[in-house]
Amino acid sequence: MMRSAPCFALATLLVIAGLAAPSHAQLCFGPDNLSGPCCSFNIANLPTPMPTPPTMPASGICWTACSPATTNVFLSYTPITQLACGSYSTGLSVIDTAGTVIMRGTMTLDYTRTWAETNFAGDPLQCWRFMAKVDLFASAPGLPCPVPAGTAPTSFYYGYLDVVLNCNTGGFEFANVLFHSCDLFIHNPAVSSIPGPHHPASSYALVAPVTAANPFLPLPLPPIFGPVTGGATRLSALPGATCLNDELIPAGGANLGLIAQACACPFNLAGPLQYSAQPFTGTSICGTGTASIWTPFPLPWLHLITTSLGFWTGGGPGTPYPGPEAAFVNEGFFFTTDGCFGIPFIQVYYGAMTDQGFPVTPDAARPWQTPRMLDLASNYSRSMGITPPFVGTVRPTARLIYVNF
């Protein structure tokens, strides 16, 4: 485990303290307004305009045979612009310590959820999570880590961006995690629009912010699994200003299992156990059912593939968001039957899983919220004409899933 027993006990006490926090710690900006009857529409209540992250110090992490190496970089963003209800974009540049832009692209952001936390200084926070996808073009393709092999025109990264309001100061903080997997997944010749070989034993991540007050340690960690305490699914990519309401997933209405752990790049059961195979099944109160798929050979997705990136290690009142939090990323093929329209879909999901961090304060509408979160966004969705390529580049998002454990 990543923490000693005393540290874990302290984290547990902090979580209990967060659960008992006064009501001012709950959603100072307000709920997202996406609760209501099944298959009906609402106007989302989200910060407008959406605040843009400052240039953030980051770690570029490269794994070879699941063993990490890191380098210091910066992530820089253009103003976040709204595309549709809950859908946004921003220009992302990855900059080295000499000030050279080494990768750039347009990052799409799909809103999943909001929740409340309390940092170690006692400040209540409201957090909004966005699933992130970006095709990064290498401006300097000959560079080593964190630039993937320059033989591919672009590199598909996925993960999340958190936007966080400090309810006491009125200031915003941010966290951004992005991952590009090895050839077995993203450049698989059977299904990718950018088939390999490019980097068969290597994968890459960008993690921000990484500072002296909250360093990030790459480490293979055991993933979250078990029945959910609650969550929701929602259709995305609707034109105009309206979103469909969340379709709530009740406690026990979904489950994330655990089959095995291994190093997948290349496959090794004795190496760092960075990758996990996790079956996921769930059904919303509106009748939408979804289940991960164990894809047939030569496809490598054994249900939902969870990759451990590591964890932030900061502590104390000056620790910036996200606190001492573990970060994972997820990808997999799913079969979904839509409860509102009765249509079956094959979908490819990408997303992220986080654990611990600052104590979470459940709000009245979502009493099941915990620090253990899984968020997914589709990047391929078809009800007919299901043909490759399925992976390789950014595609429109059709459906979102978020659950707690």
User: Which structural domain range is residue 190 located in?
Assistant: 5-404
Residues 29/129, Cβ–Cβ less than 8 Å? no
Q: Is 15 helix (H, G, I), strand (E, B) or coil?
A: helix
- The torsion defined by the Cα of 84, 88, 91 and 96, in degrees rounded to 10, comes to -170
Identity of the residue numbered 332: G
The total number of structural domains in the chain stands at 1
Q: Please tell me the distance from the alpha carbon of residue 266 to that of residue 309, in angstroms, as a whole number.
A: 17
Identity of the residue numbered 52: T
* Confidence (pLDDT) at 240: 74
User: Each residue of 66-90: pLDDT tens digit?
Assistant: 999 999 999 999 999 999 999 999 9
User: Each residue of 209-253: pLDDT tens digit?
Assistant: 999 999 999 999 999 999 999 999 999 866 777 899 999 999 999
Residues 58/96, Cβ–Cβ less than 8 Å? no
Span 133-147, mean pLDDT? 87
User: Over 60: is that where the pLDDT of 8 sits?
Assistant: no
Residues 235/399, Cβ–Cβ less than 8 Å? yes
Residues 43/31, Cβ–Cβ less than 8 Å? no
Identity of the residue numbered 153: P
* Confidence (pLDDT) at 237: 63
Neighbours of 48 (CB within 10 A): 8
* Confidence (pLDDT) at 16: 31
Reported as half-sphere exposure (CB side, CA atoms, 13 A), residue 147 has a value of 23
Closest CA to 402 of 47, 71, 115: 115
